[in-house]
Amino acid sequence: MRYIAVFDHFLTEAHRRQITETAGNCGFSVTYCTKVGDIPAEERGKYEVLYGNPQPADFRAFPNLKWVCLSSAGFNQYVDDDIYPSPDVILSNSSGAYGLTISEHILMAALMLLRRMPVYFRAAAEHRWQAAMPIRSLSGSRITVLGTGDIGTAFARRAKALGAAHITGVRRTIRPADPAFDDVTDFAGLNDVLPRTDILVSALPHTPETAGVLSRERINRLPAHAILINVGRGTAVDQQALMDALNENRLAGAALDVMVPEPLPSDHPLWTTPNLILTPHMSGNMSLGETCDIDVDMFCADVERFARGLTLAHAVDRKRGY
């Protein structure tokens, strides 16, 4: 018998049955725990696989570890080889589980900003019946999406279905992306696209290349009617430049689900910046049942591949960072 430890923070009874049955058919026994301390030290040597949200500091407790499957898409805490008992341990993530929920979040945030909901929410809080004009439409808009993976593609498809005029995907290297993107460029090409962007979306992971990509200079290239939505990682955006643009009405609005730092301290100036919608890194978490279902499905499919010695579908390149 071989062994899997699941660090559980979102599973339903049905999910556990699905994992136990799939793993059992592949010769694995599954232990469910919430932290490494739940597994006696003398038994940790038998586990080859960890799934869920184990912490980086946990890995070296498992000397015979072969594969860590994160239930998250982001993995920048997990790139350092030193946290693993061996550099050969495979890391996989759950990119693919979040496209649905995060694309709906982007769509919501875009419509809220185009239709000036921050103004309406403030008026309603003060019991004031007051119009805010003009509003704008998603239909006919020009959209630029940083990151053409699962999340960026899921949003581009939805925006296209809702009548977006033109969608540009931006990625590290220029390669074909999903047909929902009208064209694809790289970070160097971004400068030319920004002045004709109505809606700018960042779905970028944190890597050395993406940190600071939305610099002050680039933010200032956006037209004053543009809106910016970040659902990737907070490090992509120069937050002071964003606050300056919003405070000076050089940008119509922004929505940040990710920021620096998280959690945001209660005295941070982002909280009081006008036309800014802040949400606490919730666009892609496990609060949507469908996300959990997809996450478990993807892990189970990779358990079957792992048992047969095949390449995992969701393995990541730790050195590249995504």
Q: Looking at beta carbons only, is 277 or 303 nearer to a copy of itself?
A: 277
Q: Looking at beta carbons only, is 61 or 278 nearer to a copy of itself?
A: 278
Shortest distance, CB of residue 162 to a copy of itself, whole angstroms?
Answer: 6
Q: Looking at beta carbons only, is 24 or 121 nearer to a copy of itself?
A: 121
Shortest distance, CB of residue 130 to a copy of itself, whole angstroms?
Answer: 6
Q: Report the alpha-carbon distance of residue 174 to residue 298 in Å, rounded.
A: 28
Shortest distance, CB of residue 186 to a copy of itself, whole angstroms?
Answer: 30
Q: Looking at beta carbons only, is 120 or 187 nearer to a copy of itself?
A: 120
Q: Looking at beta carbons only, is 211 or 264 nearer to a copy of itself?
A: 264
Shortest distance, CB of residue 81 to a copy of itself, whole angstroms?
Answer: 33
Measured from the Cβ of residue 232, the count of other Cβ atoms closer than 10 Å reads 28
Shortest distance, CB of residue 115 to a copy of itself, whole angstroms?
Answer: 6
Q: Which positions lie near a copy of itself, rule CB under 8 A?
A: 100-101, 104-105, 107-108, 111-112, 114-115, 117, 120-121, 123-125, 127-140, 158, 161-162, 262-264, 266-268, 271, 277-280, 282, 285, 287-290
Shortest distance, CB of residue 19 to a copy of itself, whole angstroms?
Answer: 20
Q: Looking at beta carbons only, is 86 or 137 nearer to a copy of itself?
A: 137
